[in-house]
Chains A and B, each alone.
Chain A
Amino acid sequence: MQSDALQGGFTDAPVQSAQAFRAAMNAMARPGRAETLDAATPPNPVSRAAGTLILTLCDPETPVFLGNSHDTPAIRDWITFHTGAPLVGPEMAAFALGDWAALQPIAQFRSGTAEYPDRSATLIVEVPELRTEGAVLSGPGIQETTLFSLPEVAPFQQNATLYPLGLDFFFTCDSQVAALPRSTKVEGT
């Protein structure tokens, strides 16, 4: 293990994780609206927002899948040291981290069962930018509609048809995060 893996975590975990969770909760409750997450400094190419999410939500109880864009020894060591989360294949993962291409096909992740739709994966997708333009989102958490730059439209429409099953997404870029839960309806423009 490189000693770099020991760096870049929370300096005051209880308070920083509480603040980070509130940002993540606000993001999940208001799909498509960006929040700031910048408490962690993970190894490249993991964004600060994605690193902070992992420190806030992952622990030995949550298997993590790394897409090949993010599957480096430095990242593996960093996640293992700071969270203790087991690194697994996509079909076992509770959380997955990678860029959009590295996480394909998203059907490989668990989408829950009819009786326990919560037993599904949450995908942390690193994107080049978060913009309020592109796909039209509507559903719980959105007053009427909102615009958001999704990497594609069809996979998210397909995901929403599985409701109440399905995957939930965080999109991260630098120190910004936005979310798209399974309950959101997506229309292309």
Chain B
Amino acid sequence: MTDQAYNFAYLDEQTKRMIRRAILKGLAIPGYQVPFASREMPMPYGWGTGGVQVSAATLTPEDTFKVIDQGADDTTNAVSIRKFFQRTAGVATTEETDKATVIQTRHRIPETPLGEDQVLVYQVPIPEPLRFLEPRETETRKMHSLEEYGLMHVKLYEDISQHGAIATSYAYPVKVEGRYVMDPSPIPKFDNPKMADCPAIQLFGAGREQRIYALPPYTKVVSLDFEDHPFDPSKADHACDLCGAGESYLDEVITDDAGGRMFVCSDTDYCRARREAGHLGAQAAVMEEEAGA
């Protein structure tokens, strides 16, 4: 039921037009951060205000909306954003990746491959990949305009000289269509290959930093690396203890204070669907028992 006290999808029409124009520019210049006049939202910065504004400008009443937070549909942030648009835009919601038309995400890309009729909206904390190397916006903007990305390679090289390998494991920088270096938001580097040649539209919103950027479908996205230290989308060397999946990204969960732990899929919908299809992991029986007790 749409809450009649608010405009459709909460934001006023002029704000949505401004965001929509920024999204179109972002799609026309993949990987370039388009400045936009970010609004105060009824949630604090850091809770996905950028993603929420992009979703508000993108949603239509016909959409089915899914929200994930680190892969999970049932965390506070995901539940509250899903309810927010249920109330203000009257959209249907789902937890199933393949039934959603718009998916807002914090820090993960779903395991289920996305299709042509889907839009993935990322919540972005720091959109500027060079920010921790060069704090001045005037300078990073100049570096992007001159395609001066040597500093980023120096950073990755210093990783290798200190740790023997590129130690960056999330928010791993990518180069888009051979032009802009882009922060993929703090997704694990395991997810980076899913951004390339993706049939879905990918939109990125950073509310506090007031930037929107985008990847059209089938865009070339290359994780930065070196010939002798190629990019490695690593994950925990384990299978999911609940559904047995060997190919999904895993969270490590501490289960007691005696060193007990288990690895479970970070994507809750993927894990649930696999268990419903009869796949069982090493500790699935134990979990069933405890749930029943």
CB-CB under 8 A from B219, the residues of chain A are 140-141
B13 near A14 (CB under 8 angstroms)?
yes
**Cβ of B59 < 8 Å from any Cβ of A?**
yes
B20 near A57 (CB under 8 angstroms)?
yes
A59 near B14 (CB under 8 angstroms)?
yes
Q: Which residue of A lies closest to B11 (CB)?
A: A14
A29 near B18 (CB under 8 angstroms)?
no
CB-CB under 8 A from A25, the residues of chain B are 20, 23-24, 27, 58, 201
A131 CA / B45 CA spacing, docked (Å): 46
**Cβ of B94 < 8 Å from any Cβ of A?**
no
**Cβ of A114 < 8 Å from any Cβ of B?**
yes
**Cβ of A157 < 8 Å from any Cβ of B?**
no
Out of A24, A115, A140, A142, name the residue touching B142 (CB < 8 Å). Answer: A115
Question: Interface majority SS on B: helix, strand, loop or mixed?
Answer: mixed
**Cβ of B172 < 8 Å from any Cβ of A?**
no
A141 CA / B217 CA spacing, docked (Å): 5
CB-CB under 8 A from B61, the residues of chain A are 15, 18
Question: Count of A residues near B, CB < 8 Å?
Answer: 38
Of B29-37, B127-135, B186-194, B274-282, the one touching chain A:
B29-37
Smallest distance from the beta carbon of A30 to chain B beta carbons, Å?
Answer: 6
CB-CB under 8 A from A21, the residues of chain B are 16, 20, 57-58
CB-CB under 8 A from A63, the residues of chain B are none
Q: Which residues from chain B sit less than 8 Å from chain A, CB to CB?
A: 7-9, 13-14, 16-18, 20-30, 32, 34-35, 57-62, 141-142, 144-146, 177, 179-180, 201, 214-220
A122 near B218 (CB under 8 angstroms)?
no
Out of A18, A57, A122, A140, name the residue touching B177 (CB < 8 Å). Answer: A140
CB-CB under 8 A from A61, the residues of chain B are 14, 18
Out of B17, B22, B25, B215, name the residue touching A59 (CB < 8 Å). Answer: B17
Smallest distance from the beta carbon of B144 to chain A beta carbons, Å?
Answer: 8
Out of B8, B21, B28, B220, name the residue touching A18 (CB < 8 Å). Answer: B8
Out of A57, A120, A183, name the residue touching B17 (CB < 8 Å). Answer: A57
CB-CB under 8 A from A116, the residues of chain B are 35
CB-CB under 8 A from B216, the residues of chain A are 28-30, 140-141, 181, 183
Smallest distance from the beta carbon of B7 to chain A beta carbons, Å?
Answer: 6
B60 near A19 (CB under 8 angstroms)?
yes
A183 near B177 (CB under 8 angstroms)?
yes
A36 CA / B35 CA spacing, docked (Å): 29
A13 CA / B8 CA spacing, docked (Å): 10
CB-CB under 8 A from A140, the residues of chain B are 30, 177, 215-220
Smallest distance from the beta carbon of B88 to chain A beta carbons, Å?
Answer: 11
Out of A13, A26, A118, A142, name the residue touching B29 (CB < 8 Å). Answer: A118
Give 7 nearest A-B pairs by CB, closest first: A14-B8, A181-B28, A141-B216, A114-B145, A118-B25, A29-B216, A140-B219
Using A25-B58, A30-B217, A163-B29 as known contacts, list a sample of 6 further A-B pairs with CB atoms less than 8 Å apart, ordered by residue number in A: A21-B58, A58-B17, A118-B25, A140-B218, A140-B219, A141-B27
CB-CB under 8 A from B220, the residues of chain A are 140
B27 near A29 (CB under 8 angstroms)?
yes
Out of A18, A26, A30, A163, name the residue touching B9 (CB < 8 Å). Answer: A18
CB-CB under 8 A from A56, the residues of chain B are 17, 20
